[in-house]
Chains A and B, each alone.
Chain A
Amino acid sequence: MFVLERLAGFFQIVFQIGTDPYNLVVLFSAVLMGIIFGAMPGLTATLGVALLTTLTYGMETKTAMVALMAIYVGGVYGGSYSSILINIPGTAAAAATALDGYPLACKGEAGKAIGITTTASAIGTFIGMIFVVTMSPIISAFALQFTSFEFFLLAFFGIIISGTLTSPDMVCKGWIAGFLGLFLACVGRDPLQFYPRFTFGFSELDGGIEIVPVLIGAFGIPQIIQVLKDKLCVGEAKKLQRILPGFWMILKNGKHIIRSALIGVGIGAVPGIGEDIAGWVSYGAAKNSSKHPERFGKGEYSAVISTETANNSCIGGAMIPLLNLGIPGSPPAAMLLGALLLHGVNPGPMISFEHPTFILEITAILLLASFAMWVTGILLARQVVKVLRIPPEIFMPIIGVLCIIGSYALGLNVFNLYLMLPVGIVAYFLTEMGYPIAPLVIGVILGPMADENLRRALMVSKGSFLPVFTRPVALILFLMIVLMLVSQIPAYKRMKTAVVARFTAWKKGKGNP
């Protein structure tokens, strides 16, 4: 009965949003804008969400979510255009798509490839949506048992795991980025005693650092500097023929779609890592399970289907920890968290009580966004690819102005700009030196949660850390953190290799008497 009620509620919300002309205009415009952002090399879905957040300030929460989810879905999908047509991934999420997408375009099958990626992306988003609606009540109910110790450890776990998995160079750089983010979160009056920390006497810093300008700075400014400094050259786009949805091809690749969607949801649910890793893992899994792995890299349809399904299903996966635990699953989800807080929605275990229909609304929006993305992709792809002709030297300065006015518009505060720019320049240097930005951003977002809950937990336990070992969830989280830290020590790696080698030798000896 409960399931039926939920289902009825879900379709009611879909109907409400889908029949409101204003919401429909916002939905299709945001999807189109997302596709353009995704398609243009140098612009990302995260930046799209960041810039649009500032425009949604005056909107109703539901409409704002329609706009933001739509640009997120469109942005992740749009990256495949430039991957297929010019062999430059529009977003990191579509990097794996370029491996087989571009060879397909070279064979004269760009239209078919884009049609199939469009359908695969829509299916991926749809499967992700199913996981949001089914997993959320379970995770929410589980998270309600959490106390301050669990929340502190969860925040800490989020930073450590995103640091471990997103670091392009050494793992410790990911952790350093996370701690730098936590430091930024310390700026301002502390949440329990209102003592000013690291404010340098600036009253503007008393309320802490605003998240959205920091996110815009951290993602936007390094992008502008990188593209223009290194003069990113965009090649001539391959000719695009008629866009075909490729249903038959999709049906033939059913198992790839299911596997990739599960990979996408699973990776999306891990804090901080997002669509790009989902795409690569899914590509690897498709290649390993293929009967013809030698065809990969030469224009294989199952490869583009796998990567595009995975990166879009990752959106649903990223929404699960975001909505139920308040921990963003991917960089664009971190941006969405900022937007949610801006609209007075505090994601976390209490969301089902404070906003009973909110998760269903997000699910309904995901469904509508995947539909809008499919329609826009099939009908407007030929027009959208024209934006690939705009040189970065023209659109990057415009993005710069948008970053600036966007950061200012949120609080009508010029001080936000004074923060955004140094954060952006520091983020550029960090990126150049192999530090990932996602843990930094997650640190800024989860810092207040970690700080407040650590002190609250110790206040209750009168300074004792014993509850970490007596509460099962806290103990599991603690062990996972310790394991993750220890697993990076060379001695541990050597020991692990030795144990595995000894076990294999023992097993062989047992098998061959």
Chain B
Amino acid sequence: MMDKERLRRADLITAVILILFGAWIIGDAFTMPMKDSWGGVMNVWYVSPALFPLTIGSAIVLLGILLFGIALKAVGLRQVMVHVTAFIDEKRQGRLISLPTIRFFAIVFLFLFFVYMNIPRVDFFISSLLFLIVFIVMFYIEDERVFVRLVIFYFAGSMGFLFYFVLGINAALTGCVPYPADILTVIFLVSYMVYAWRLVRGDAALRRRYAIGIIVAVSVPIILCPAFKYFLLVPLPCEGIVVTVMDEVYYTLF
């Protein structure tokens, strides 16, 4: 949790967001049937589907106003202006980009790319392997310089993938090459590993951490994917090149 002073300043912003959010809930609730007939049922206010959202929206607006009042009383109007100008100044000078902030964004982007981009399109074994190798190597190697470089490398590569999917290149390639997204992800994964290796090879301690990270990251999908697919009978979100091979092996053996 933040310290009290920062918290109260953040509360001011949150309170405004909450008031707007509550107002949106109320606005949307007013579009719901209150007096008209819906599905053969003649509505009155107390059976309307709008009743509960209206109550919640109003409560959120009221609590938002209460929060705003408390925060404003604690911070003071003049202080708000001082902090706003200080924030803009800090932003201009780039002082807001601290290492914990980079770490935070790295984690969020890792999850976002994994969930929204890779899981629906890339073989689950490969996508989870990529997620784990990138995540573990990035955070387990305790070197600030290496960390920042790996974040930039992964982010640039993922943006490339984003354009690849958004521009429809994957759909166009699927007709000519089998599993193009899987193959490209493996290529990206290998290049990430090679790049990370080049960054750590000069330091014995970092090399050891790199090796441990890779071993752990590889072992998890090897255990997890067959366990979910064949033991818990859960089809994986996207079954591509590796899962097809796994199926071949499993059904030949059993």
Question: Which residues of A approach B to under 8 Å, CB–CB?
Answer: 55, 57-58, 168-170, 172-173, 175-176, 179-180, 182-183, 186, 190, 192-195, 197-198, 221, 224-225, 228-231, 391, 393-394, 396-398, 400-402, 404-405, 408-409, 412, 414, 417-418, 420-421, 424-425, 431-434, 450-451, 454-455, 458-459, 462-463
Report Cα–Cα, A459/B63, bound state, in Å: 28
The A/B interface has a contact count, at CB < 8 Å, of 165
- Since A195-B49, A454-B55 are in contact, a sample of 20 more A-B pairs with Cβ atoms closer than 8 Å, ordered by chain A residue number, is A55-B232, A169-B1, A170-B67, A172-B70, A175-B63, A182-B52, A183-B56, A183-B57, A195-B32, A221-B111, A224-B107, A394-B140, A397-B217, A398-B216, A401-B224, A405-B224, A412-B235, A424-B111, A432-B2, A459-B46
Nearest-Cβ distance from residue A343 to partner chain B, whole angstroms: 15
Q: How far is the CA of A293 from the CA of B55 in the complex (A)?
A: 49
Task: Give the residues in chain A near B221, CB-CB below 8 Å.
Answer: 401
Cα distance A287–B77 in the bound complex, in angstroms: 44
Contact B7 A194 (CB under 8 A): no
Max count, chain B CB within 10 A of own CB: residue among A179, A402, A414: A179
Per DSSP, chain B at the interface is helix
**Does B164 sit at the interface, judged by CB under 8 A?**
no
Interface hit among B78-86, B127-135, B181-189: B127-135
Distance in angstroms between the alpha carbons of A273 and B34 in the assembled complex: 37
Contact partners of B66 in chain A: CB under 8 A? 172
B44-94 residues at the A interface, CB under 8 angstroms: 44-49, 51-53, 55-57, 59-60, 63-64, 66-67, 70
- A168, A397, A425: the one contacting B108 at CB < 8 Å is A425
List residues of B (178-223) whose CB comes within 8 Å of A's CBs: 212-213, 216-217, 220-221
Q: How distant is B58 from chain A, measured CB to nearest CB, in Å?
A: 10
Taking the nearest CB of chain A, how far is it from the CB of B220, in angstroms? 5
A342 to chain B, nearest CB (A): 14
| Distance (whole angstroms) from the CB of A479 to the closest CB of chain B | 19
Cross-chain contact A58 with B140 (CB below 8 angstroms): no
Q: Given A176, A393, A401, A404, which contacts B220 in the complex, CB threshold below 8 Å?
A: A401
Residue among A58, A176, A408, A418 making CB contact with B67, cutoff 8 Å = A176
Q: Which of B10, B59, B63 meets A433, CB within 8 Å?
A: B10
CA distance A424 to B107 in the complex (A): 12
Chain A residue with the shortest CB-CB distance to B67:
A172
A194: B residues at CB distance < 8 A = 39
